[in-house]
Amino acid sequence: MLAGKRIVLGVTGGIAAYKAVEVCRRLVDAGAHVVPVMTKGAEHFLGITTLSALASEPVQTSLWDEATPIPHTNLGQSADLVVVVPATARLIGAYAAGLSTDLLTNVLLATRAPVVVCPAMHTEMWEHPAVADNIATLRRRGVHVVEPDEGRLAGGDSGKGRLATPERIVAEVERVLGGGELADLHLVVTAGGTREPIDAVRVIANRSSGKQGYAIAAEALAMGARVTLVSTVALPTPPGAELVPVETAADMQAAVEALSASADVVVMAAAVADFRPKVAEAGKIKKDGGPPEIVLEPTPDILAGLGAHKRPGQLLVGFAAETSDVVANAEAKLRRKNLDLIVANDVGAPHVGFQHDTNEVTLLRRGGAATTVALTDKRSVARAILKCVADLRSGVSSSDPDPSTDNPTTQEQHQ
């Protein structure tokens, strides 16, 4: 799986830097070409000679004294993956803020390869709100985070913050580079709320931020899928995804129906308007004319249309944003629209639903038990959803989507 892969191994200034030696050895033994990059802080804990002897190339430390005048772009562009072991709070903060303070942070900003960061620090630092926010930012951008273990820390105290074991780190590298559970699949993901024009300047819209759809797209890429993102919002496109911008329900219907012909999985996370003005004025409706009479008509039911024409082997995932009878309404929609999986959430609950960075959902499969994903971040919810998709693809009957990975998440309704 790792044979011939070019991996940049970043090492920062933490006491756990010595464990990077074992990670390096395991990667090299697995056939990877390991290029080590150490920060000045790392040199206080680990000798350059040690890592150079075990890696595929000598350690690089500086932007200025290497053989090439632009080492960061050469390293970033040539890497199949960058892994940072350990990742200190300083490195995490600089990376999240986009600060290019040394060779390693320059490489991280100059690469389009997958990035795996392995935090290690004292519990108080790991739990500090600034560090938590920076980790959440990196996750939203598609960075893979190998969370620290609980155990004995430097200084003799104990808690969460201990660097993950080399086995866990290498397994994550293999997972990311090995294509993942959705390798070779084409996923179409919709995101955001549609905007239905009233006149030249006004629209009927909803509160959907698009964050859940984008989290699903990012996680699907991490799991090896080819992803097409059909979106109404202007969030940063996850690296590697193909973006199809749309605005109205009709736009989204046309895009999704065209893409569904080649899609193995369609995830309708967008909040599609249920109604639109029957007539949209070409110009602006003037206020002095009094309140306009707006006649509404139903928008196309994209999800039902996809369900009616679903190909054998194709999976269809819908969303149900509800304020009452959440599970019952979702189950009815699952059957009515011929879905394989529906993601239901109570958007009236605190910190759940539109515009939040957190979400709590119930996953319902056709003919399967309901599984609740407790309040957590959107990327974690995305992972739970896609783990369920992978299980359905492989015929696994278990309804546990492994929701224990990250933190808070929001959700879109569908239509």
- What angle (nearest 5°) sits at the alpha carbon of residue 383, between those of residues 32 and 414? 140
Sheet containing strand 358-365, edge to edge, reads 242-245, 226-231, 186-191, 265-268, 315-322, 341-346, 358-365, 371-377
Give the separation between CA 212 and CA 190, rounded to whole angstroms.
10
Give the separation between CA 185 and CA 392, rounded to whole angstroms.
13
Q: Position of tokens 């039902």?
A: 304
Q: How many residues does the chain have?
A: 415
Q: Which residues of 299-326 are buried (b: 16+ CB within 10 A; e: fewer)?
A: bbbbbbebbeebeeeebbbbbbbbeeeb
- What angle (nearest 5°) sits at the alpha carbon of residue 140, between those of residues 239 and 365? 95
CA-CA-CA-CA dihedral for 278, 284, 289, 293, to nearest 10: 10
74 annotated active-site: no
Task: Tell me the CA distances in angstroms from 405 to 121, 379, 387, 402, one per residue in order.
Answer: 19, 9, 11, 7
Catalytic residue among 74, 106, 134, 206: 206
Strands 371-377 and 358-365: antiparallel
Q: Which residues are catalytic?
A: 206
